[in-house]
Amino acid sequence: MTDPLWFKDAVFYELHVKAFHDGNGDGIGDFRGLIEKLDYLEWLGVTCLWLLPFFPSPLRDDGYDVANYVSIAPDYGSLEDFREFLDEAHKRGMRVIVDLVLNHTSDQHPWFQEARSSPQSAKRDYYVWSDTDKRYQKARIIFIDTEKSNWTWDPVAQAYYWHRFFSHQPDLNYDNPVLQQAMLDIMSFWLDQGLDGFRCDAVPYLFEREGTICENLPETHAYLKKIRKRIDEAYQGRILLAEANQWPADVRPYFGEGDEFHMAFHFPLMPRLFLGVRSEDWHPIVDMFTHTPPIPDNCQWCLFLRNHDELTLEMCAGEERDYMYYAYARDPLMRRNIGIARRLAPLLDNDRRKIELLNSLVFTLPGSPIIYYGDEIGMGDNVHLGDRNGVRTPMQWSADRNGGFSKTDPSKLYLPAISDSVYGFNVTNVESQRQAPHSLLHWMRQMIARRKQQPAFGRGALTFLRPKNDRVLAHIREHGGNLLLLVHNLAGSAQSVDLDLGPFEGRVPVELLGGSRFPVISKRPYVLSLAPYGFYWFNLEQKPGDDLSYGMEGSVL
Ligand code: NOJ
Ligand code: CA
């Protein structure tokens, strides 16, 4: 039997079917196209794919406005294509999770159409209606760019309906047991196809209660535990990953006692990684772990640098938020909602050293890493596209027409491919990077492979060393007697650091990528020098091995 805790060692890869590869030449990515690229993903070494919503949808929120939960949008293919894709992914040792959009539907969903048609309709109670827009006033507005209220008047229903996101996304009413059951059945439908789990969208908002902020309510946790129970009873080995953009203390309950979510994104850590490198200071990163409570053994954090949304600053307030905007989005065109809609490489000025450094942090801090499609080759963005579309452009496979994404007329693409002189598909693409042994792509592949060799990355305990030089972040991961020492120079200048490695006296740091042995650890401070944005991954080996001389030198003639 496979290990039910497989997700602790997994390397995730997030992609949109629409954006990955167009198999039938209509300008929109599809499952047939994705199947053709599974060999690439296997070669890269990622072990679990997260697919963004691919259900029928008016696409006013890129598929997070679902109009039918148990079907595939025709542009992306058929259910058969999906099944074939899943089989092919499984054959290559990759698992697949997809979005489960629990909180709301599209206003085009037949449930909503029926619900609004009459107060007597059987589906009326699937949604949250009111005669006034004054209820639940303490709930914040999440999409402050576009929404003025969480209530919208529906002239057909002659009532207000509740929505935490866009006004075309009415919230489902989880006080209704029939709806609760309907969502469980939807889950089963996909799990019965062989799916390995769900990334559950917007979970803090399932219930509303007067006088509260309508987030993280006990009723919400109780329902989520029911979902988990269904998984444990009928679908062992499948996982639930929570999207709860909250402070760690508020995310902690989503793990329950190991009986709610298997995984949750660590949202507040993400901007602190960018802050840490920009301010050349380990404190923002280490402090975030001080604020992160322990989680049950059968649970795991999910760490990420970028995703399909803006780099959210909801978990940064005051000076930190101002600094992030100042450092990473001086041009207002780069800002969306409370955040920055840019990809990893442009955020880091396309500085290969910083890109490697930040990837190294998400690969070595506690949790499983997620790579956003295209970031493994340093793809760029297009801040002129509306909403968050600037980071959702076609994957760049080669220097061919449309970056090898589609054979169609470029004007027919679902979004224009990036074509500028730095990040455009002519220069930045998979084919050219596969041919260049020192490309970012090869580096990512190598780091993924190294990470997979060391279970301590996914499962080990964490200790920060807190050196006096606050430009150098140093941490230890320990698992089953294996000790890893990770040292990162967050600064753009060379640094020297003294580490107190006394407890590991007698061990020998062996650098994991090149295999070089470093001086044995003693009671004295361990001095390391690091290049600008340089870092080391060390295995602290138990005892000095044999000396490394070979050949005839030193032998008795
Ligand atoms: C979170 C998703 O990541 C985002 O893309 C979407 O707009 C909202 N949830 C609403 O579903
Ligand atoms: Ca297509």
Indicate the pLDDT class of residue 552, thresholds 50, 70 and 90: confident
State the ligand closest to the CA atom of 24.
Answer: 2
State the ligand closest to the CA atom of 265.
Answer: 1
Query: Among the atoms of ligand 1, which is closest to the Cα of residue 388?
Result: 5
First to last CA, the chain: 56
Reported as a single tens digit per residue, the pLDDT across 237-256 is: 999 999 999 999 999 999 99
Burial class of residue 51 (count of CB atoms within 10 Å of its CB; 0-12, 13-18, 19+): buried
| Residues with C-beta atoms within 5 A of ion ligand 2 | 22, 24, 26, 28, 30
SS3 223: helix
Sheet holding 151-154, edge to edge: 129-130, 159-162, 151-154
Reported as a single tens digit per residue, the pLDDT across 451-486 is: 999 999 999 999 999 999 999 999 999 999 999 999
- The residue behind tokens 């994404």 is 405
Q: Is 243 a catalytic residue?
A: yes
- Catalytic: which of 243, 260, 310, 375? 243
Residue whose C-alpha is closest to residue 373's, from 434, 441, 291: 441
Backbone angles phi, psi at 474, to 5 degrees: -130, 130
Q: Is 114 a catalytic residue?
A: no
pTM for the whole thing?
0.96
Handedness of CA 362, 12, 328, 374 (dihedral sign): positive
Residue 147 in contact with ligand 1 by CB distance below 6 A? no
DSSP 8-state secondary structure symbol assigned to residue 439: S
Quote the crossing angle between the two packed helices 269-279 and 352-364, to the nearest 10°.
140
Q: How many Å lie between the centroid of ligand 2 and the Cα of residue 380?
A: 23
Tokens of 475: 């941490």
CA distance linking residue 464 with residue 454, whole number of Å: 19
Burial class of residue 482 (count of CB atoms within 10 Å of its CB; 0-12, 13-18, 19+): middle
Does 545 score more than 70 pLDDT? no
Average pLDDT score over the chain? 97
What's the half-sphere exposure (Cβ side, CA atoms, 13 Å) at 278?
17
Is residue 184 within 8 Å of 229, Cβ to Cβ? no
Residue 161 in contact with ligand 1 by CB distance below 6 A? no
Does 147 score more than 70 pLDDT? yes
Residue whose C-alpha is closest to residue 20's, from 372, 359, 302, 305: 372
Residue 309 in contact with ligand 1 by CB distance below 6 A? yes
